Chains A and B, each alone.
Chain A
Amino acid sequence: MQNDRISILFQGMRDTLPLILAAIPFGILFGAAAISQGLSAWTTMAMSLFVYAGASQFIAVTLLASSTALPVILMTVFIVNLRHMLYSAALMPHVSKLKQWIRVPLAFWLTDETFAVVSHRDIVKPGAPGWTSYYLGSALAMYGNWVLCTWIGMTIGQQIPDMTNWGLDIALIVAFVAIVVPALQQRADWACAVTAAVTAVLCYDWPNQTGLLFSALLAIAVGLMLDPKTATKQAPHHE
């Protein structure tokens, strides 16, 4: 049983590898950028250790450098993180069986990447055992990598080339493609995906990733309108 849990944990780590690769340049860039913008080493590490949210950390550093008022920065951070509320809502059926104390670290470690990998497992192996171990494997690998890369960026970031233009983010793109496509099974799924893809491009220049949030919500609404199960609820005479 213990061995099963550990092997599932490693499976979670392994399935997250392409996403870890894609995160490395950004972790290093964050460490280097924070230091060069005048943040202390302590503040920089504290952000990666305790905030642990890539987009929010970059926004905070950029806004701090432009001396934006702190309450405005905090408000922005909150808006950027609303997307993750959708993730944790989507995982509620799994989490409802877990003890309250474990829900705290699981929520803290919830990222785009871990959500993607965990959702994919749910699509291809619905009801597979060891959900928590798998989640923790993915989350710990992402977290360890992010903290380590921040530290590397902080200490030797100025001496190494900027890796963000190497295009390693392609690993995230193709991994997400591999994760989403098997989920496209019904007409409503496809309509949802097409809506998300088109809308996200149309509102790419909205501030603070609100374009992403808006396209996601619109796409969910489209999926729901065409959803076969919701439709039968509304028209019981079909049954």
Chain B
Amino acid sequence: MSNSLFIVGMVALTFIPRYIPFLLAGKIALPQWAKRALHYVPIAVLTAIVSQASLIQQGAVQFDIANHHLLAASVSFLVALTTRHMFLTISIGLVVFALARWLL
């Protein structure tokens, strides 16, 4: 397999899963349960990403105060819960992370 052919293969296998639902949108009617399932996609996937990115450090679960990612994520979670303000949540999360790195 040549380099160019390999790239073409990667393009196809990356693009096809993204495109199939877009291609079918409006052409097929989803059953009610599937429509409801789609409501949970952002919550499920983004939470799973946040959970791994904040709790797994250097390839292992790190559940303590020395994990600055976890600390900042927890504080921003509380800010989001109380204020529901995007900019504030992100800013405070970043500041907490910077302070933790600097002080702890």
Contact = CB atoms under 8 A, between A and B. Distances in A.
A171 B90 contact: yes
A83 B48 CA distance: 11
A71 B9 CA distance: 9
Interface residues of A, number: 91
B10 A47 contact: yes
B96 to A, nearest CB: 9
B36 to A, nearest CB: 5
Contact of A167 (B10, B13, B46, B69): B69
Given A51-B14, A193-B47, A204-B52, A85 B21 contact: yes
Contact of A189 (B17, B20, B40): B40
A77 B14 contact: yes
Contacts of A148: none
Q: Report whether over half of chain A's contact residues are helix, strand or loop; otherwise say mixed.
A: helix
Contacts of B20: 85, 88
Contact of B73 (A18, A174, A200): A174
A184 B42 CA distance: 11
Interface string B1-27: 101001101110111011111111110
B92 to A, nearest CB: 8
Contacts of B65: none
Interface of B is mostly: helix
The winner among A47, A95, A181, A223 for most chain B CB atoms within 10 A is A181
B58 to A, nearest CB: 10
B21 to A, nearest CB: 4
Given A96-B26, A173-B72, 6 more contacts: A40-B3, A43-B7, A116-B46, A174-B73, A174-B93, A197-B47
A156 B102 CA distance: 28
A152 interface: no
Contacts of B90: 18, 171, 174-175, 178
A169 B42 CA distance: 19
Nearest to A170: B97
Given A86-B45, A193-B43, A215-B44, A176 B50 contact: yes
A182 B80 contact: yes
A130 interface: no
